[in-house]
């Protein structure tokens, strides 16, 4: 894909390392930005992400959708699916990752197992990093149709971010967002204090 690497350095700097998940999030973001013509400056572009993988960091950097602004909505479904909306329309773009990683050799599987067990030897790291680089190149050089199922959807547009007052937890003394506070034995407590039987 022409110019697929433009801007990837900024995403990598934010995330801290380069990896296949980050590359997928970068490519998802490029597809969304093509459809919606530009990143969010405020809350007008909304991303609904169905996982908390490395890809989401790329979505934040590229699209301007962030948890802090309330236009990045996390649904813990463990799926490589990303849906984007541009307010005020309820029409969205759903991007589902269908990319299949190139097959691994027996040696690559063995080295990955050693790496996951804590082996950081030069031999292991070389194989792991080479394999990672091939996966990233495969993602970055593929066309959208090889990577994704993309479809237009008409869905429930998430509401704008709300700002709530804080209250003080009577258990730990820390501030908590009012709607997340609980009442226990007639006292206002935060969720951790509610669960810790304070």
CB 37 within 8 A of CB 30: no
51: left (phi over 0), alpha (psi -120 to 50) or beta: beta
Q: Which CATH number fits domain 8-99+142-154: 3.40.50.300, 3.10.129.10, 1.10.10.60, 3.30.1330.20?
A: 3.30.1330.20
49 in Cβ contact with 92 (< 8 Å) = no
CATH code of domain 166-195: 3.30.60
Does residue 84 contact residue 46 with C-beta atoms inside 8 Å? Answer: yes
Average pLDDT over residues 103-124: 92
Asked whether the predicted pLDDT for residue 3 surpasses 60, the reply is no
Q: Cα 46–47–49 angle (5° rounding)?
A: 155
Instruction: Report pLDDT digits (tens) over 77-101.
Output: 999 999 999 988 888 999 999 999 8
Domains 8-99+142-154 and 166-195 share a fold: no
Summarised one tens digit per residue, pLDDT across range 143-181 is 999 999 999 998 777 777 778 899 999 999 999 999 899
The domain segmentation of the chain, as residue ranges, is: 8-99+142-154, 166-195
pLDDT, tens digit, 9 for 90 and up, residues 13-29 = 999 999 999 999 999 99
């Amino acid at each position: 894909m022409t110019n697929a690497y433009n801007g990837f350095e900024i995403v990598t700097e934010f995330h801290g390392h380069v990896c296949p998940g980050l590359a997928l999030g970068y490519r998802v973001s490029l597809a969304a930005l093509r459809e919606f013509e530009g990143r969010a400056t405020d809350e007008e572009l909304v991303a609904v992400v169905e996982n908390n993988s490395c890809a989401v960091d790329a979505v934040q950097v590229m699209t301007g959708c962030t948890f802090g602004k309330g236009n990045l909505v996390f649904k813990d479904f463990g799926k490589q699916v990303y849906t984007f909306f541009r307010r005020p329309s309820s029409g969205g773009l759903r991007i589902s990752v269908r990319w299949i990683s190139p097959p691994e050799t027996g040696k690559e599987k063995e080295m990955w197992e050693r790496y996951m067990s804590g082996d950081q030897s030069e031999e292991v790291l070389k194989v792991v990093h080479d394999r990672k680089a091939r996966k990233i190149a495969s993602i970055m050089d593929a066309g959208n149709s090889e990577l994704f199922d993309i479809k237009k959807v008409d869905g429930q547009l998430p509401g704008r971010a709300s700002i709530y007052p804080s209250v003080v937890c009577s258990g730990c003394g820390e501030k908590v967002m009012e709607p997340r506070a609980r009442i226990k034995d007639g006292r206002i407590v935060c969720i951790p204090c509610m669960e810790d039987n304070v």
